[in-house]
């Protein structure tokens, strides 16, 4: 789609260790909410972006319209997170351009495997890039607030146990 610019996001850390991210966090929050992702605080988004290996954004003029993140150990494994494109611009190739740029980043890092979580209705999108559904692998998650008490309920008080 013409008029869409794909950029790698830069993060800068100052002498105090504070991170400045080159994106409008209010616009990012609005983008996430527009695609049904949960609301996130600006400080949490800033930390997530700063902790990512690579972040790719899409702009139409100077308006943020898409994002995707690669989180990795920077050697072997990576995960694709938070791929989002503004709803009125979906199915126009923007998400494909974002994902392709993230895969370029992963290749440049020499990663040997990339994983991701996706909704069933998005599976075909990722399969066109070579991602494979693996019936022999089952994703397991533990969230901070799950029904069984989250992280805290499962921590061992004594690490010798």
Evaluate the CA torsion angle 120, 124, 129, 131 in order and state its sign: positive
Triad 153, 157, 159: Cα angle to 5°: 120
Q: Give me the domains of the chain, ranges plus CATH numbers.
A: 4-134 (3.40.630.30)
Please report the pLDDT score of residue 22 as a whole number: 84
pLDDT score at 93: 97
The pLDDT value given to residue 30: 96
The answer to whether residue 102 scores a pLDDT higher than 60 is yes
Nearest to 60 by CA among 19, 98, 4, 11: 4
Is the predicted pLDDT of residue 122 greater than 70, yes or no? yes
Residue 8's contacts (CB-CB under 8 Å, 6 or more residues apart) are 54, 55, 56, 57, 101, 105
Residues 141-158 have pLDDT tens digits of 777 776 666 777 777 655
pLDDT for 14 equals 59
Instruction: Say what the pLDDT of residue 147 is.
Output: 65
pLDDT of residue 35: 96
39-66 average pLDDT score: 93
The edge-to-edge listing of strands for the beta sheet with 4-8 is 4-8, 54-60, 63-72, 77-85, 113-116
Q: Give the pLDDT confidence of 9-43 residue by residue, as tens digits.
A: 876 555 565 666 789 999 999 999 999 998 899 88
Which of the pair, 154 or 124, is modelled with greater confidence? 124
Choice between 87 and 15, residue whose per-residue pLDDT is larger: 87
User: What average pLDDT does the segment 58-64 reach?
Assistant: 96
Question: Which of left, alpha, beta for 134 (phi over 0: left; psi -120 to 50: alpha)?
Answer: beta
């Amino acid at each position: 789609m013409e008029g869409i610019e794909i950029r790698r996001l830069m993060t800068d850390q100052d002498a105090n260790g504070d991170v400045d991210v080159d994106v409008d966090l209010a616009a990012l929050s609005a983008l996430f909410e527009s695609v049904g992702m949960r609301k996130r605080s600006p400080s949490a988004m800033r930390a997530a972006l700063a902790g990512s290996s690579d972040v790719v954004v899409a702009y139409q003029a100077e308006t943020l319209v898409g994002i995707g993140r690669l989180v990795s150990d920077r050697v072997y494994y990576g995960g694709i997170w938070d791929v989002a494109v503004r709803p009125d611009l979906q199915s126009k190739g923007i998400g494909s351009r974002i994902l392709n740029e993230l895969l370029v980043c992963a290749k440049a890092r020499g990663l040997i495997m990339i994983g991701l979580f996706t909704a069933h209705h998005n599976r075909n999108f990722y399969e066109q890039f070579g991602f494979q559904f693996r019936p022999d692998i089952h994703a397991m998650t533990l969230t901070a607030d799950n029904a069984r008490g989250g992280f805290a309920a499962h921590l061992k008080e004594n690490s010798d146990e």
